Structure 1
Amino acid sequence: MADPRLKAAFAERRFIVAPGIFDMISAKVADGMGFDCLYVTGFGTVASHLGVADAGIATYSDMVGRVGTMARGCRTPVIADADTGYGGLLNVRHTVVGYEAAGVSGIQLEDQEMPKKCGHTPGRRVIPAEEMALKIRVAAEARKDPNFLIVARTDARTTLGLDEAIRRGRMFEEAGADIIFIESPESEAEMQAIGQAIRKPLLANMVEGGRTPILPAKRLQEIGYAIAIYPAIGFLAAAAALEKAYAHLKATGDSTAIGESYGFRRMTDLMGFPEVWEFESRWARGDKVEGNQ
């Protein structure tokens, strides 16, 4: 079931900052930070799972299990990237049903041609707007829980221009999307124009090194946005830390002088080892489950 707190946060007009998660370590760390929402990034999840580019290679089967593991492992509501819905209208229906059953609170669908490409990268092509609007209508009909949110993304800005991207955003509003995501505007002025044109909650994609300027959350809210996702922040930080640690180990043959780390004890706590140890200790003493004594 979708978490009703996410829909309530939008209704209350609280600005939502959603960090990207891509595996269970990132999910558990972010889950303890007090965010209103976490965002399962396609780029990061495909990279960590398959070690390949986010270029339409991962399938529904590759993704739904990992998405579900992250959603079920977090107390925080989760929105998950589902690319194009992994095919046509029937695939979209199957994807929405599967992601909702997996425990996410929102699904992101985009209007790219298959195979899709990662946002903020060149060569993205989009399907006709009317075809995407049908996908959104199918998605809205397929969900069982009204708290399950549909994020409609258009990648039209890069190849077809801002006006077409805004037109598509309005179409997707009418088709039943709960949140509109116009990918990769290229200036703050463009973002302001989007904020003035779209009525439903708007999503800003803050990608370090991407095509869109990184604006503070307060400024995003001022110009009309309701949620900002930071899909790359986690895996970029993780890759940098790993590179530094591995380079130090290779150069010195010593892992003890790398500097500050998360700490083995903290990691065992994060992964739930104390509960495991308590369980094993209790049963090693021969304790019985109540009712079976």
Structure 2
Amino acid sequence: MLDDGHPLQLPAAHDALTARLIARAGFKAYQVGGFALAGARYAFPDIDLIHYYEENEAIRQIVSASPLPVLVDANDGFGDVKNVMRTVRGYEELGVSGIFIEDQVAPVSCGQMGNKEVVSVKQMVGKIKAALAARRSADTFIIARTDGRSAVNVAEAIKRGEAYRDAGADGVYVEGLRSAAELKRVGRALDGIPLATTMMEGGGQLAWIVPEEVHGYGFQMILYPTTVLFQVTRAIERGLAGLKGGKPMAGGVDLDRFEEIVGMPGWQEVVKQFYHE
């Protein structure tokens, strides 16, 4: 997918239904991000309140609902190198295609929020090597994310990206970039390894840039952590306000459409084929 000459857009699925709809919309892959998972499943901000166990169960449910490859946010590996290995093995067992681990100092938070601190390059390189050693399949794609831009500057992000590439990471995810000029600079400096960045709609540091333009700067993967979640949140608010005001549903799908989305025809066929009184 990264080599087909087109940007790989990765919308975030915060639940199984969203993962199913992403596949139906024609996307080639998707992500499960900590921001959307914390917000939708637990109504928490993305400030390191949920960890491996809570995320593992949610990811299991999400992955089972979609046939698409999925990239999963593994936080900072949920601890030291031991936890990194456990996380990689656990997510791989769930059928995850790619995993990214970040270099923030715990407690980690959304890459677009507040000031950041990053661990030493040496410590992060150790986590990358632990992740690579833990995976059962060489096809499991390990991405190293750096928040060096927000913690220090673009040069720091590039320096860290180079170190993570040299440590064997399959890809580098540069978070917190703030302009097309910064995308270009990073893309040139880290040419030769698959790159990812964030397009966080609804309050991110980087203004909207069309996918083809981002791809032209050298970034094969574009993560959209909030696009679906923020629209769903607003739709729920509107629906509840209308209901409270005594109004009938405006918009939305009907029963037949919803039952088709969640697979009712397939289950009816199972009953028809196997159920006998």
> What is the TM-score normalised by the length of structure 2?
0.95
Letter in 2 for 1:215: I
Q: CA deviation at 1:90?
A: 0.3
Is residue 2:12 matched to residue 1:20?
Answer: yes
Letter in 2 for 1:88: D
Measured in 2, the distance between the counterparts of 1:133 and 1:275 equals 47
Q: CA deviation at 1:46?
A: 1.3
Aligned to 1:214: 208
Is residue 2:157 matched to residue 1:201?
Answer: no
The answer on whether the counterparts of 1:68 and 1:104 sit within 8 Å (CA) in structure 2 is no
Structure 2 residue corresponding to 1:157, chosen from 122, 126, 149: 149
Give 3-state SS (helix, strand or coil) of 1:109's partner.
strand
Q: CA deviation at 1:264?
A: 2.0
Give 3-state SS (helix, strand or coil) of 2:108's partner.
coil
Give 3-state SS (helix, strand or coil) of 1:10's partner.
coil
Structure 2 residue corresponding to 1:61, chosen from 53, 56, 60: 53
Measured in 1, the distance between the counterparts of 2:52 and 2:65 equals 20
Give 3-state SS (helix, strand or coil) of 2:222's partner.
strand
Measured in 1, the distance between the counterparts of 2:207 and 2:231 equals 19
Letter in 1 for 2:129: R
Measured in 1, the distance between the counterparts of 2:124 and 2:255 equals 47
Aligned to 1:125: 117
Letter in 2 for 1:51: A
Measured in 2, the distance between the counterparts of 1:52 and 1:77 equals 26
Give 3-state SS (helix, strand or coil) of 2:215's partner.
helix
Question: What percentage of aligned pairs have identical amino acids?
Answer: 29
Aligned to 1:170: 162
Measured in 1, the distance between the counterparts of 2:46 and 2:138 equals 30
Is residue 2:80 matched to residue 1:76?
Answer: no
The answer on whether the counterparts of 2:150 and 2:176 sit within 8 Å (CA) in structure 1 is yes
Runs of 4+ aligned structure 1 residues displaced above 4 Å come to: 281-285
1:221-236 aligned within 5 A: 221-236=215-230
| Root-mean-square deviation (Å) | 1.4
Measured in 1, the distance between the counterparts of 2:11 and 2:141 equals 18
Q: CA deviation at 1:192?
A: 0.6
The answer on whether the counterparts of 2:149 and 2:156 sit within 8 Å (CA) in structure 1 is yes
Aligned to 1:273: 264
Q: CA deviation at 1:254?
A: 2.9
Aligned to 1:254: 247
Q: CA deviation at 1:124?
A: 2.2
Q: CA deviation at 1:152?
A: 0.8
Letter in 1 for 2:197: A
Letter in 2 for 1:249: L
Measured in 2, the distance between the counterparts of 1:156 and 1:32 equals 36
Measured in 2, the distance between the counterparts of 1:186 and 1:143 equals 33
Letter in 2 for 1:206: M
**Unaligned stretches of 5+ in structure 2?**
none
Aligned to 2:100: 108
Aligned to 2:81: 89
1:29-44 aligned within 5 A: 29-44=21-36
Q: CA deviation at 1:272?
A: 1.6
Q: CA deviation at 1:36?
A: 1.6
Q: CA deviation at 1:123?
A: 2.8
The answer on whether the counterparts of 1:68 and 1:102 sit within 8 Å (CA) in structure 2 is yes
Aligned to 2:176: 184
Measured in 2, the distance between the counterparts of 1:71 and 1:278 equals 23
Q: CA deviation at 1:281?
A: 4.4
Give 3-state SS (helix, strand or coil) of 1:177's partner.
coil
**Which stretch shows the higher mean deviation, 64-73 or 167-176?**
64-73
Is residue 2:45 matched to residue 1:46?
Answer: no
Measured in 2, the distance between the counterparts of 1:79 and 1:155 equals 18
What is the aligned residue count?
A: 275
Measured in 2, the distance between the counterparts of 1:194 and 1:152 equals 15
> What is the TM-score normalised by the length of structure 1?
0.90
The answer on whether the counterparts of 2:16 and 2:64 sit within 8 Å (CA) in structure 1 is no
Measured in 2, the distance between the counterparts of 1:202 and 1:268 equals 38
